[in-house]
């Protein structure tokens, strides 16, 4: 199938310093990423804080320009798109932000927040038609038509994220990028919003790019996963296969650092031995060599090229074949009790999250303040 989104050797470097007391530097936030996303799939990007996930997401939808490399959406250049091509991109690719508290203008009613993209992308609609469409969109995300007259502060975090999703759906997008769309929410609410996104993706045929720290969310929702380290994709594969049979030592370390179910907020982020080096001074050779238990002299000097494994992963590690043999002797950690418990939570939390026709709308489980 023709990819909906492609990135070819994309870099995004931020110049830093250069002031009176600061040395000039370059933060290599994204450093040679290539990927290809198929229509309708949910593609996840994971990795520790600061590895470049958000920068990559912003570059993919042209919220930031690339330093080099190409991004193509539906076969057309995203890099350098202007005028009608850029407007079409703004309609077709939408973003869901992490923080539902600051991403919605508090002075706009929900009706205006959700209706605004319609004014831009469907100017032919009459006022009445637009209001009907807003009601339909609110119902799709599990809210009621009368919520259109209220303001963001009157809603809970989960409901605000639903408003953000309705706003993202308003332009009729084909691709939605969610950057940590549930990490600011309570665990029980997270499960509902995660399932809502999954249902919408499936029922509307959307392509989703999902960034999340919670690997159980990723496991539950994604078809394919890319693992990032210091601006590069180090492993890529189907979610099932990558979780059951990780090839790259960094992916293994991430899976081994899966947090406990009750461990929320900052503490729930994956912890791996040692500090991630600064992207302004990445180590030579394999950037993971400073923390990798398998590192050899080769790793310290030569950047590993991406290789395809027999099970269809792409992995960038000089020694993946030797490490794969060692791995078979150990128990996979991806099925840890904590992951199982969270997956069970997602499996249970389906009520109130399906796409609901306006007429048969059932009450939302979360409370409106
Ligand atoms: N505008 C900028 N100027 C300079 N450096 C930046 C800028 N934006 C991001 N960076 C740096 O680029 C690197 C990648 O940042 P990014 O926000 O993409 O990481 P991330 O993987 O999304 O992290 P997190 O999981 O914490 O959200 C970080 O070192 C960050 O400090
Ligand atoms: S290339 Fe070497 S340092 Fe890098 S992940 Fe593989 S074994 Fe570890
Ligand atoms: Mg981020």
Q: Which ligand 2 atom minimizes the distance to the CA of 320? A: 6
> What value does the CA radius of gyration of the chain take, rounded to a whole number of Å?
21
Positions of the chain with pLDDT under 50: 260-270, 328-331, 351-369
The C-alpha atoms of residue 126 and residue 203 are separated, in whole angstroms, by 27
pLDDT of residue 339: 67
Q: Which of 227, 291, 293, 294 to mutate to test the pocket of ligand 2 (most atoms within 8 A of CB)?
A: 294
The C-alpha atoms of residue 275 and residue 290 are separated, in whole angstroms, by 9
Q: Is 50 in the pocket of ligand 1 (CB under 6 A)?
A: yes
CA distances from 123 to 80, 279, 335 (A): 26, 44, 49
Q: Which ligand 1 atom minimizes the distance to the CA of 47? A: 21
Nearest ligand to the C-alpha of residue 253? 2
Contact (Cβ atoms closer than 8 angstroms) between residue 280 and residue 273 = no
Domains of the chain: 1-16+25-102+173-268+287-358 (3.40.50.300)
Q: Is 53 in the pocket of ligand 1 (CB under 6 A)?
A: yes
Residues contacting ligand 2 via CB (< 6 Å): 248-249, 286, 288-289, 292, 294-295, 299, 304, 317-319
Q: Which ligand 2 atom minimizes the distance to the CA of 296? A: 2
Burial call 297-316: b when 16+ CB within 10 Å, e when fewer: eebeeeebebeebeeebbbb
Q: Is 98 in the pocket of ligand 1 (CB under 6 A)?
A: no
Contact (Cβ atoms closer than 8 angstroms) between residue 228 and residue 51 = yes
Q: Which of 284, 292, 325 to mutate to test the pocket of ligand 2 (most atoms within 8 A of CB)?
A: 292
Q: What is the DSSP letter of 260?
A: P
167-217 residue pLDDT tens: 999 999 999 999 999 888 887 788 888 889 999 999 999 999 999 888 888
What would the two tokens of residue 352 be?
Answer: 């109130």
Q: Is 55 in the pocket of ligand 1 (CB under 6 A)?
A: yes
pTM, rounded to two decimals: 0.89
Instruction: Provide φ and ψ at 297, rounded to 5°.
Output: -60, -40
pLDDT of residue 343: 73
Q: Which of 50, 53, 97 to mutate to test the pocket of ligand 1 (most atoms within 8 A of CB)?
A: 50
């Amino acid at each position: 199938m023709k990819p909906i989104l492609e990135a070819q050797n994309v870099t995004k470097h931020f110049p830093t310093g250069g002031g009176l007391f600061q040395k000039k530097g370059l933060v290599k936030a994204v450093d040679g990423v290539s990927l290809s996303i198929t229509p309708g799939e949910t593609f996840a990007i994971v990795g520790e804080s600061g590895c470049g996930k958000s920068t990559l997401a912003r570059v993919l939808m042209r919220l930031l320009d690339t330093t080099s490399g190409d991004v193509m959406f539906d076969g057309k250049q995203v890099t350098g798109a202007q005028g009608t091509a850029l407007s079409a991109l703004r309609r077709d690719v939408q973003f869901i932000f992490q923080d539902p508290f600051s991403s919605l203008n508090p002075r706009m009613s929900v009706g205006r927040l959700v209706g605004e993209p319609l004014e831009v992308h469907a100017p032919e609609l009459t006022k009445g038609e637009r209001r009907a469409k807003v009601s339909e969109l609110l119902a799709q995300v599990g809210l009621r038509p009368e919520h259109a007259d209220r303001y963001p502060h009157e809603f809970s975090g989960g409901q605000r994220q639903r408003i953000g999703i309705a706003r993202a759906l308003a332009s009729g997008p084909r691709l939605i990028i969610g950057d940590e769309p549930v990490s600011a929410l309570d665990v029980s609410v997270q499960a509902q919003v995660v399932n809502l996104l999954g249902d919408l993706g499936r029922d509307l045929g959307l392509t989703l790019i999902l960034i999340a720290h919670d690997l159980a969310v990723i496991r539950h929702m994604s078809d394919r996963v890319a693992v990032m380290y210091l601006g590069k994709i180090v492993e890529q594969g189907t979610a099932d296969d990558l979780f059951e049979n990780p090839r790259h030592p960094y992916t293994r370390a991430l899976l081994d650092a899966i947090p406990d179910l009750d461990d929320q907020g900052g503490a729930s982020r994956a912890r791996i031995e040692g500090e991630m080096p600064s992207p302004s001074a990445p180590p030579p050779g394999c950037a993971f060599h400073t923390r990798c238990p398998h590192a050899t002299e080769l790793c310290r000097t030569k950047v590993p090229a991406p290789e395809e494994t027999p099970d269809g992963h792409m992995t960038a590690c000089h020694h993946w074949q030797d490490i794969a043999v060692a791995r078979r002797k150990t128990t996979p950690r991806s099925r840890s009790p904590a992951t199982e418990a969270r997956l069970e939570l997602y499996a249970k939390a389906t009520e109130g999250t399906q796409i609901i026709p306006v007429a048969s709308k059932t009450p939302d489980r979360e409370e409106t303040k």
